Amino acid sequence: MKKKGHPLGLHRVLEPAGALPQAAFRLDSTPECYDNEILLDVEVLNITSASFSRIKREVGTGEEALARAVLEIVRERGKYQDPVLGSGGMLIGTVLEIGDRLAGRIDLAPGDRVATLISLTATPLSLEEVLHINPATDQVRVRGKAVLFERSLFARIPGDLPAEVSLAVMDVAGAPAMVARSVAAGDTVVILGGGKAGLLCLHEARKRVAPTGKTIAVEYSAKRCGEILSLGLADIALPLDVTKPVDVMEKIEEATGGAMADFTVNVVNVEHSEMAAILSTKPAGTVFFYNTATSFTRAALGAESAATPVRMLIGNGYVPGHAELAFQILRENENLRKFFEVLYGKRAS
């Protein structure tokens, strides 16, 4: 008879007592399956871009140093949670075991390959070894085990997409899903950041603001700006430093004839980008912060100091149907799909 677990995973919390798994400092990651858990054999971690960028700044891009940093975090906390930013990521794994209370209640069986749709910050994780790190894609091949609770979200890896590509897009699926909910024909949408989340958001925004709206990308890399334009994802791509908000504001003002953005999405992976997003947006507009390096104190006080009443949304990694929407983007946009396959499918193998 398996041990009985709490629906919210409280039985895995070691400290502090009474905390939920995501907020806990340390989890019990013992690789045994309680009666309401799913035990996974872990293959790949997809660490959030903000966290991976921070670690690279701290220890460099050498694979051994990065591997040690990842292992230290997981061994200390029983999960992957960036000790500075608090962010995590997602993983791919194969189902090893399903608890008695879950058997028959979920459409899953041992041997199924899944990606988690719940953050690594709330996922008990034990790692035996880091096998390979790709600094270009934030993906870490590992040998280890992870635990999902009965209310944890997951999705099967689709058969028509490479597993690494599926994981990459599922990690940020909440961003384009919120864009899909929030923008309409005729809107001007500004996306700060040209990484995987930014590319998916640009596709979804461009589709939904057509035929009279406009999409504008702001990305530090001039090379990525060129790629965004060649993929047909934006009307304008501006190579700018988002930590210089006045420069960004002036360029957006110029690009929009002074109208500014109806909806701005912040998906960059650096700190101090809040005001670039806020100042790019018209007073009646909305800013969506999906960047885990965002300081909501800086955002709130910055908007106040600039006397702008923009509406601000906090990124939620879960929007119903978000994984399927992200997969659908790649099915709709063959060029974007090929771009992701080269970036994640080939380089990460």
**Structure token digits, residue 202:** 């640009």
C-beta neighbour count of 338 within 10 angstroms: 13
Same-domain check for residues 103 and 204 = no
pLDDT of residue 45: 95
Q: What is the CATH number of the domain that holds 293?
A: 3.40.50.720
User: Is 221 among the domain residues?
Assistant: yes
State the pLDDT confidence band at 345, using cuts at 50, 70 and 90. Answer: low
Does position 96 have pLDDT exceeding 60, yes or no? yes
Find residue 129's DSSP bridge partners: 143
CA distance 237 to 147: 41
Same-domain check for residues 68 and 195 = no
User: Is 341 among the domain residues?
Assistant: no
Number of structural domains in the chain: 2
Looking at 94, 126, 157, which one is the last position of a domain? Answer: 157
114-158 pLDDT, tens digit each? 999 999 999 999 999 999 998 888 899 999 999 999 989 898 988
> What 3-state DSSP class applies to 13?
strand
Burial 11-44 (b: 16+ CB within 10 A, else e): bbbeeeeeeebbebebbbbebebbbbbbbbbbbb
Q: Which domain holds residue 196?
A: 174-321+328-336
Same-domain check for residues 234 and 312 = yes
299-343 pLDDT, tens digit each? 999 999 999 999 999 988 888 899 999 999 999 999 999 999 998
Looking at 157, 183, 208, which one is the last position of a domain? Answer: 157
Same-domain check for residues 193 and 121 = no
Does position 170 have pLDDT exceeding 50, yes or no? yes
Looking at 97, 126, 157, which one is the last position of a domain? Answer: 157
**Structure token digits, residue 173:** 């699926």
User: Is 256 among the domain residues?
Assistant: yes
CA distance 295 to 84: 12
Same-domain check for residues 95 and 26 = yes
Mean pLDDT of all residues in the chain? 94
Same-domain check for residues 309 and 182 = yes
Percent of the chain surpassing pLDDT 70: 98
pTM: 0.81
pLDDT of residue 230: 97
Does position 346 have pLDDT exceeding 60, yes or no? no
Contact yes or no for 278/310 (Cβ under 8 A): yes
pLDDT of residue 316: 82
User: Is 1 among the domain residues?
Assistant: no
State the pLDDT confidence band at 26, using cuts at 50, 70 and 90. Answer: very high
Same-domain check for residues 208 and 145 = no
User: Is 196 among the domain residues?
Assistant: yes
183-236 pLDDT, tens digit each? 999 999 999 999 999 999 999 999 999 999 999 999 999 999 999 999 999 999
Does position 347 have pLDDT exceeding 60, yes or no? no
SS3 letters across 180-210: HHHCCCCCEEEEECCCHHHHHHHHHHHHHHC
pLDDT of residue 348: 39
pLDDT of residue 171: 83
Same-domain check for residues 143 and 241 = no
| Most confident residue range from 51-60, 101-110, 211-220 | 211-220
Same-domain check for residues 100 and 204 = no
Residue-level length of the chain:
349
pLDDT of residue 168: 84
Same-domain check for residues 65 and 214 = no
User: Is 49 among the domain residues?
Assistant: yes
Same-domain check for residues 146 and 243 = no
Same-domain check for residues 189 and 332 = yes
